[in-house]
Structure 1
Amino acid sequence: MDNWEKLQQYKERLLQEKMEQKIKLTLEWEAEKERRKIEEEKLKQIKEENMKKHQEFLENLQKFMAGDSCEPPKELNYVCDTRPGAEMCTFFSKTATCRFGDQCSRNHQYPSISNVLLAKNFYAHFGLDNMFENNEYDADIMLEYDENETYKEFEEFFCDVLTEFEKFGKIVQFKVCKNYEKHLRGNTYIEYADLRCAVAAYRFLNSRWYGGRQLSLQFCNIRSWRNAICGLQAKQRCHKGRSCNFLHIFRNPNNLFSLQKLPEENYIPRRRTPPRSWRWSESPETEIPKDTKSSRESNDEEKKNRERRRSHKRKLRKD
């Protein structure tokens, strides 16, 4: 009898524990549902507030771009620091670039918007990429690509790109780098007189394609062009050569945008019909194959011209 009572008590205790566990789980589930509900409401509220702020931002940006507002949206007036509190990187402060990138131990400051746009490695040319190589193979190839030919291609680039950027407003400075260092080579700086123009150009041209390359624009600060540009480069006396971290720039046609403020009223950029590889586009373009026979004849003629130039330049070197 005692065993039976003990068994019944044990069963009742198990049942009681089971009911208590069930009630506990139910309460926990109800609490979890309530917590999720509150969290969803908070997220919904945050989302609505963010959408409202974004809408206000777009409206303020539109007013600023239309000239109805003198100041840009406050959301755009901020500076991003790579290493807050660290010493400022001297080269980045002057040229908006650094050979170490954002891995630099010093601080780089990126403005949210500014009058100056930077297109990194925008101008690309075989002569520019190989003019500083020293091996025999490259030296032989570079007989065909002296600085004059590289500059001739740059003139086409200058006229084509300047015309496109001028659609958005007055440009007060346009500089293209011919440095060897990768972080500077081909960098293109465009400074607008009006902040609105720079923002408009960024919104329209960023991520477009040009010459088979996707354009990546960023805003930057150039406080002084004279401090950014290598002062000895123009005189061909830069003792640092290809390791120089200041801007070595191409001379713009007719000295347009010269720091010496030379007359530029009579200058009209040449507008050529650019070859296919220099075209602007919304997406990458595929080259169209040329006629086989005409292409072969053209290649043969080009090979003869190259050989003549090589022979002539070798002769000049011997003399």
Structure 2
Amino acid sequence: MAQFLASIYGTEQDKVNCSFYFKIGACRHGDRCSRKHVKPSYSQTILCPNLYQNPAHEPNNQLNESQVQTHFDAFYEDMFCEFAKFGEVETIVVCDNTGDHLIGNVYARFKYEEDAQKAIDDMNSRWYAGRPIYAELSPVTDFREACCRQHETSECMRGGFCNFMHRRKVNPTLNRELELAQKKYLKLTGKDKSPSRSPSPAR
């Protein structure tokens, strides 16, 4: 029985724990959900909910798509540089959904769990663009499962209110520059090899 319960944990077969919270780190029902939202005590991934303010969602927005992308790229660079202060960043996902539980959510997965915890401890006392930052550990480990496949390949039929992540894409050149800068920094500081700790196993 214990083995069976472990095998269905966080899946749609699990009648106790919310599969959407386990997979996405957010649920449209919030505290009213009939299933449990089990918050992790340790994780490689952190969530800063509603942090990205997409100007395209503002009713009085006058920016064109190119200007909105420039605004997003600047935000993404800010986030990458801030998160990288705490440790090696593997992935950053910024949600472009419009549903309340996903709008502007920023997820960052670190190589090491202790670096994610350091980020949480620091970010919760910080502000960005005149708004306080809220940060928490997230159960999300596999963004391939969390991101909407329709949105990634074409156009999602559910639009911005889809319950899977609609990842906003950063300029590829900027992304490569940030990743190369991080690799160079890790190599120069010797942090690319850390025998005292190992990456968290996939769960």
Whether 1:216 aligns to 2:134 is yes
Return the offset for 1:255: 7.0
| Map of 1:120 onto structure 2 | 49
Q: Secondary structure at the match of 1:190?
A: strand
Alpha-carbon distance in 2 for matches of 1:123, 1:229: 17
For structure 2, the 5+ residue unaligned runs are 1-13, 183-203
**Preserved contact between residue 45 and residue 107 of structure 2 (Cα < 8 Å):** yes
CA RMSD of aligned residues (A): 2.3
Distance verdict in 2 for CA 1:97–1:266, change over 3 Å: closer
Q: Secondary structure at the match of 2:141?
A: coil
Return the offset for 1:256: 7.5
Q: Name the one with the larger helix percent.
A: 1
Looking at both structures, which has the greater relative contact order when contacts are Cα pairs under 8 Å and sequence separation is at least 6? 2
Equivalent position to 2:115, from 197, 201, 207: 197
Q: Counterparts of 1:133-172 in structure 2 under 5 Å?
A: 138=59, 141-142=60-61, 144-172=62-90
Q: Counterparts of 1:106-117 in structure 2 under 5 Å?
A: 106-117=35-46
For structure 1, the 5+ residue unaligned runs are 1-84, 131-137, 258-262, 270-319
Alpha-carbon displacement from aligned partner over 1:141-164 (angstroms, at most 9, x marks no partner): 44x233322221111011112111
Q: Counterparts of 1:86-105 in structure 2 under 5 Å?
A: 86-105=15-34
| Map of 2:164 onto structure 1 | 246
**Preserved contact between residue 169 and residue 194 of structure 1 (Cα < 8 Å):** yes
Alpha-carbon distance in 2 for matches of 1:160, 1:91: 29
Distance verdict in 2 for CA 1:255–1:191, change over 3 Å: farther
**Preserved contact between residue 46 and residue 135 of structure 2 (Cα < 8 Å):** yes
| Map of 1:9 onto structure 2 | none
Return the offset for 1:115: 1.0
Alpha-carbon displacement from aligned partner over 1:177-221 (angstroms, at most 9, x marks no partner): 010111101100011101111111111221311110101100011
Distance verdict in 2 for CA 1:256–1:194, change over 3 Å: farther
Alpha-carbon displacement from aligned partner over 1:154-177 (angstroms, at most 9, x marks no partner): 110111121111011101111100
Q: Which amino acid aligns with 1:242?
A: G
Q: How many residues align?
A: 169
**Preserved contact between residue 174 and residue 189 of structure 1 (Cα < 8 Å):** yes
**Preserved contact between residue 77 and residue 178 of structure 2 (Cα < 8 Å):** no
Q: Which has the larger radius of gyration?
A: 1
Alpha-carbon distance in 2 for matches of 1:203, 1:169: 13
Q: Which amino acid aligns with 1:228?
A: A
Alpha-carbon displacement from aligned partner over 1:52-99 (angstroms, at most 9, x marks no partner): xxxxxxxxxxxxxxxxxxxxxxxxxxxxxxxxx952222212101011
**Preserved contact between residue 45 and residue 141 of structure 2 (Cα < 8 Å):** no
Q: Secondary structure at the match of 2:76?
A: helix
**Preserved contact between residue 97 and residue 166 of structure 2 (Cα < 8 Å):** yes
Q: Which amino acid aligns with 1:219?
A: L
Distance verdict in 2 for CA 1:104–1:255, change over 3 Å: farther
Q: Secondary structure at the match of 1:172?
A: strand
Q: State the identity as a percent.
A: 32
| TM-score normalised according to structure 2 size | 0.75
Return the offset for 1:100: 1.1
Whether 1:179 aligns to 2:108 is no
